[in-house]
Structure 1
Amino acid sequence: MREHRQFYIDGQWVDPAKTRDCEVIDPSTEEPCAVISLGSAVDTDAAVAAARRALPGWSETPPAERIAYIEKMAEIYERRIDEMAEVISMEMGAPKAWARGAQAAAGLGNIQGCIAAARQVQFDHPLGTAEGAHILKEPIGVVGMITPWNWPVSQTTLKVPFAMAAGCTMVLKPSEFAPLDSILLAEIIDEAGVPAGVFNLVNGDGEGVGAVLSAHPDVDMISFTGSTRAGKAISKAAAETLKRVSLELGGKGANIVFADAPEGAVKKGARACFNNTGQSCNAPTRMLVERPIYDEAVEIARETAEATTVGSAHEDGRHIGPLVSERQFDRVQALIETGIAEGARLVAGGPGRPEGFNRGFFVRPTVFADVTPGMEIEQTEIFGPVLSMIPFDTEEEALEIANGTAYGLTNYVQTSDPARRNRLARRLRSGMVEMNYKPRGAGAPFGGVGLSGRAREGGVWGIEEYLEVKSVSDWAAE
């Protein structure tokens, strides 16, 4: 079993002020795979103080030099990417192929994307409306970062290098369920020679570290990815010091499938829902299907669910792994039972572990048909491989259902009609809209509206999240 009790503070691995052990559970076996120490207010204060001391020097470092450090991070990350995949597989249950090809690869892609974006940011430029009018974009200061377990290094790398590029210093608290990837990232940052205090890591839970960061008077900004419930608590704690709060929260994406959808739209949508064992905030968990093809679509979704194999994260192959924890397993099981009680038609999967499993947090890929708007399974983010299917008759009805939740992260549209795609893109209430499973493009921002939060991560927007804008008059040409 791995032991990682130390924190990375001020460029060194240091012992916690008081050791408080926490076991990291392998969700495939339900056995401990590592032990960390949970930090306290004392540890958090030390990390914030280190970040505050490092801020003047780092914020005045030329952007090109900051980019050079991030380039070195990318180089080391690429060399150690197999290690990153291994720890992600162990800590949160991503199968080997998915951990390497999706999870760990996303981290590298985010760092590389940050480098490209940083080269585009104008940190100072003329305003052009009056002689000497000028704009300066300056780092906001010390950033507290709180990251989740479902896409651990992906979410961390949507924050850390982007804040570095902006000239900020930071303290990271990863999820105590999946801290091992962040420990490895700290090793990568250390090896890259990033100056002491720019990046600091304190493991801990929400009460011991997260709440302290959120209310800390020397923290200028909180960047949080996680549940809407926790996002509200963080916002309240941060309000006392009026710090900036950037939230990337949950989702309940609608996937609107029209009768003229490209071939394979239903199967792709079901697979996208089941990927990462459904533990993605942008998963297309509600499939709205135009009535003429609804019965066929339900049958395709059933076949897709039954063809989706479940297996240990430590095995090779194309399968989905377990949920991350017993708590998450119990929550998903309860919501599946709720769907049955609400009268939705269960066409695949259902309660309990898949056949052949009596240990591990494994769940059955599940499809509910004839779900009606307002059902709990239609409104609540389940965060498991559970697809809700809803028929619709008109475009207006589909829009009303899609926009009928408090979330607004990603919506999806499958249609061959280009005019319809553009209409829906404008009218869907979400931060992102994906059409016909086409990528949104390199450098596109990730983020939502409503209860999905209002952060914009990735690309130029991801750096600007960490910048303050200062306007200056009578600027002298340099």
Structure 2
Amino acid sequence: MLDKRKFYINGEWVDPITPNDLTVLNPATEQAIAVISMGSAADIDRAVAAAKTAFATYGRMPIDERIALLEALLAIYTRRYDEMAQTITLELGAPITMSTDQQAHVGIGHLEGFIDALKRMKMRETLPNGDIVLREPIGVCGLITPWNWPINQIALKVVPALATGSTCILKPSEFTPLNALLYAEMIHEAGFPAGTFNLVNGDGVHVGAALSKHIDVDMMSFTGSTRAGTAVSKDAADTVKRVTLELGGKSPNIVFEDADLEERITGSVLECFNNSGQSCDAPTRLLVQRSVYDRAVEIARRVGATVKVGDPQEPGDHIGPLVSDIQYGRVQALIEAGIAEGAELLVGGPGKPEGFEAGYYVKPTIFVGVNNGMRIAREEVFGPVLAILPFDAEEDAISIANDTNYGLAAYVQSGDLDRAERVATRLRAGMVHINGAPHRYGSPFGGYKQSGNGREGGLFGLEDFLEVKTIHRPDAA
């Protein structure tokens, strides 16, 4: 079992002020794989002090020097790529093929996107009225990241903080801390100055709250549940720090009758089940035009029945377990709620798949006969669970799609691109995917309503970590 009880503070691996061990489990086997320390407010004080001291000089480092550091990090990450993929598979349960092709790859893609954006960003410009506008690093940043796409969210927060000249303290999820500790090793090897990046493990109630409330933290960037995001916002309010949030979703996926049903229903089911359904932007509400509903349901049944669960260490396109016993229980409760409220099981159902008594495995599940008032249509399940709902006309689809507290992503499938784009403009979501188009590195990621605020990735992601200063010159036109 790995001993990972040290924190990374001020360029050194240090012991926690008060020992508080937590065992990290492999979700595929429920066996212990590592022990970490759970930090305290005192550890956060130490990390924030280091970040504040480092900002005094790092915040004035020339952009070219920061770009060189980021490029060094990119080279190191590329060299240790397979190590990152294996680590994510071990602690998250993502199958190794998925970890290699998707989970680990984001650490390269986002870093390249930020480097490109930083090279293009104007840090100084003159307005038509003659005033000068400067973009300056915001300062000390608290970063809280989730377990479901761990290095994805770490890269989307740590990289723009360091790229803009800010300093940071990362609190990764205690369920998947090992990839974060590996990333800290890479940052150290790249040569970032001491104190610019710090890592303290812990839970949200103690370490996350201490970070959010800290008077010397200038900004909080949080990804996770809407409930926890609300707590971060409240904790940060007394010190009036900037807060950016990337929260939950219940993304609608509208399938019109002129879509290529075989291709788009197949793709929609597989996208929903990707990462065992543990994605905030998963297309979990499949809205199908009534004229092709029965055909679409039959395709979904066939495709859903072919989705297998399996050992994450084995290559292949199967799905793995959920991350924890807690998450398994939440998903099971919502599957049971769907049955109790009268939805019909098309594929899957409660309990574990046959042959998987150990591990937090869930049956890939599809419900039909769903209406938009049911819990499985309104709450974020965060497991491999798809709800299929019918609609009649375009306005009906838009109304159902927007009838949610969330607004992270939406999906539109249609053979008429003009209609698809017209519908996209009506959907209250931060991102709309048409006919399977992917999210691309460098584009803004984020949502409307209770899915959060702010945007991550590329130029927009850098801007969240910058302050704007106006200089009024006496000789301005």
TM-score normalised to structure 2 length: 0.98
Q: What is the aligned partner in structure 1 of residue 121 from structure 2?
A: 121
Q: How does 1:265-284 map to 2 (within 5 A)?
A: 265-284=264-283
Q: What is the aligned partner in structure 2 of residue 206 from structure 1?
A: 204
Q: In the alignment, which of 224, 227, 236 is matched to residue 226 of structure 1? A: 224
Q: In the alignment, which of 190, 193, 199 is matched to residue 192 of structure 1? A: 190
Deviations 1:34-69 (A, max 9, x none): 110001111110000000000011110011111110
Contact 2:110 2:441 (8 Å CA) reproduced: no
> Matches of 1:244 and 1:261 in 2, distance apart?
43
- Secondary structure at 1:23 match in 2: strand
Q: What is the aligned partner in structure 1 of residue 344 from structure 2?
A: 345
CA displacement at 1:476 relative to structure 2: 8.2
Contact 2:109 2:441 (8 Å CA) reproduced: no
> Matches of 2:184 and 2:335 in 1, distance apart?
38
CA displacement at 1:312 relative to structure 2: 1.6
CA displacement at 1:440 relative to structure 2: 4.5
Q: How does 1:318-397 map to 2 (within 5 A)?
A: 318-397=317-396
Q: What is the aligned partner in structure 1 of residue 86 from structure 2?
A: 86
Does residue 112 (structure 1) correspond to residue 112 (structure 2)? The answer is: yes
Contact 2:124 2:132 (8 Å CA) reproduced: yes
User: Which letter does structure 2 place at the counterpart of 1:270?
Assistant: V
> Matches of 2:179 and 2:251 in 1, distance apart?
27
- Secondary structure at 1:406 match in 2: coil
- Secondary structure at 1:158 match in 2: helix
Contact 2:441 2:457 (8 Å CA) reproduced: no
> Matches of 2:349 and 2:439 in 1, distance apart?
33
> Matches of 2:257 and 2:213 in 1, distance apart?
51
> Matches of 1:274 and 1:11 in 2, distance apart?
40
CA displacement at 1:293 relative to structure 2: 1.1
Q: How does 1:70-469 map to 2 (within 5 A)?
A: 70-128=70-128, 130-131=129-130, 133-262=131-260, 263-469=262-468
- Secondary structure at 1:185 match in 2: helix
CA displacement at 1:166 relative to structure 2: 1.0
- Secondary structure at 1:119 match in 2: helix
Does residue 47 (structure 1) correspond to residue 47 (structure 2)? The answer is: yes
Higher mean displacement: 176-185 or 302-311: 302-311
> Matches of 1:67 and 1:61 in 2, distance apart?
10
User: Which letter does structure 1 place at the counterpart of 2:12?
Assistant: Q
Q: What is the aligned partner in structure 2 of residue 61 from structure 1?
A: 61
> Matches of 1:319 and 1:69 in 2, distance apart?
37
Structure 2 gap segments, 5+ residues each: none
Contact 2:367 2:387 (8 Å CA) reproduced: yes
> Matches of 2:314 and 2:43 in 1, distance apart?
38
Contact 2:368 2:387 (8 Å CA) reproduced: yes
CA displacement at 1:418 relative to structure 2: 2.1
Contact 1:74 1:111 (8 Å CA) reproduced: yes
Superposed structure 1 runs of 4+ greater than 2 Å apart: 439-442
> Matches of 2:369 and 2:298 in 1, distance apart?
13
Deviations 1:198-238 (A, max 9, x none): 00000111122100000000000000000000000110010
> Matches of 1:169 and 1:37 in 2, distance apart?
23
Q: What is the aligned partner in structure 1 of residue 8 from structure 2?
A: 8
- Secondary structure at 2:364 match in 1: strand
**Residue 271 to residue 344, structure 1, CA distance change in 2 (3 Å):** same
> Matches of 1:402 and 1:177 in 2, distance apart?
32
> Matches of 2:271 and 2:238 in 1, distance apart?
40
Structure 1 gap segments, 5+ residues each: none
User: Which letter does structure 1 place at the counterpart of 2:339?
Assistant: I
User: Which letter does structure 1 place at the counterpart of 2:250?
Assistant: K
Percent identity over the alignment? Answer: 56
RMSD: 1.1
User: Which letter does structure 1 place at the counterpart of 2:304?
Assistant: A
> Matches of 1:439 and 1:349 in 2, distance apart?
27
Contact 1:134 1:475 (8 Å CA) reproduced: no
- Secondary structure at 2:29 match in 1: coil
User: Which letter does structure 2 place at the counterpart of 1:78?
Assistant: T
Deviations 1:129-187 (A, max 9, x none): x23x1100111110000000000001100011111111100000000000000000000
- Secondary structure at 1:24 match in 2: strand
> Matches of 2:426 and 2:14 in 1, distance apart?
51
**Residue 456 to residue 475, structure 1, CA distance change in 2 (3 Å):** farther
CA displacement at 1:475 relative to structure 2: 7.7
User: Which letter does structure 2 place at the counterpart of 1:369?
Assistant: V
Aligned pairs, how many?
Answer: 475
Contact 1:38 1:208 (8 Å CA) reproduced: no
CA displacement at 1:9 relative to structure 2: 0.3
> Matches of 2:216 and 2:271 in 1, distance apart?
41
CA displacement at 1:417 relative to structure 2: 1.1
TM-score normalised to structure 1 length: 0.98
Deviations 1:256-312 (A, max 9, x none): 001111341001000000000000000000000011111111111111111001012
> Matches of 1:353 and 1:422 in 2, distance apart?
40
**Residue 105 to residue 22, structure 1, CA distance change in 2 (3 Å):** same
Higher mean displacement: 237-246 or 431-440: 431-440
Deviations 1:395-426 (A, max 9, x none): 00000000000000000000011221121111
> Matches of 2:425 and 2:270 in 1, distance apart?
26
> Matches of 1:125 and 1:439 in 2, distance apart?
34
CA displacement at 1:455 relative to structure 2: 2.0
Contact 2:430 2:445 (8 Å CA) reproduced: yes
